[in-house]
A and B are shown apart, each in its own frame.
Chain A
């Protein structure tokens, strides 16, 4: 299993540009999450999904959109990028059955800079 994969690893955007951060997991997990990590801070939840076709906002959803058309994929869309969105973005997934139902498995992250 590759686990949770994210692309790209790094990206520089200009203010106002848009992009999609890709996230794929091959563990057949129902739950998927997007977090952002600002320098010197913990992770903050942007959006999450409990299954295909179901998404919900987290703590910091403004400026982002998500979709979940398949179990495997959970892309994060940035519209009109702003410098405040400069951060490292992590995707995670978790199963919804024991014994690991609350363990989140993280991807390697995408470092995004908006200039």
Chain B
């Protein structure tokens, strides 16, 4: 079974600073996807960024980028120029690449607070 571990339960950062959220996972699969989801106080789950394991290039989405280390099974999220609206719970998630079985396995999450 796959597991996702987020070892930092909580972090805070000043507005405009850069912060990195860590995530490790365990799997015997060779082809899979990794995701970061954001859950603001409104409770809505929002996809931040995704990475396909077969791609060596790290994914980027505007201020968000990942550091994907497949051999180390590490998938960290970097948020640049932090904004107050980035305050949220962040969840790392794993999905096997098995057609008809696209199920997400989530980590426990990490609470990020961006301070003015």
Contact = CB atoms under 8 A, between A and B. Distances in A.
A74 interface: no
Nearest to B42: A108
Interface stretch (B12-20, B65-73, B78-86, B95-103): B95-103
A108 B46 CA distance: 10
Given A40-B108, A58-B103, A104 B91 contact: no
Interface stretch (A18-26, A42-50, A64-72, A76-84): A42-50
Interface in B38-59: 42-47, 50
A41 B108 contact: yes
A102 interface: yes
B100 A45 contact: no
Contacts of B50: 102-103
Interface in B101-116: 102-109
Given A58-B103, A104-B47, A104-B104, A42 B109 contact: yes
Given A40-B109, A103-B47, 10 more contacts: A33-B103, A41-B108, A42-B93, A42-B106, A43-B45, A43-B104, A48-B103, A50-B100, A101-B102, A109-B44
Interface of A: 31, 33, 40-45, 48, 50, 58, 88, 90, 92, 94, 96, 101-104, 106, 108-109
18 contacts: A31-B102, A40-B109, A41-B109, A42-B4, A42-B107, A42-B108, A43-B104, A45-B105, A50-B100, A88-B43, A90-B45, A102-B33, A102-B95, A104-B104, A106-B45, A106-B46, A108-B42, A108-B43
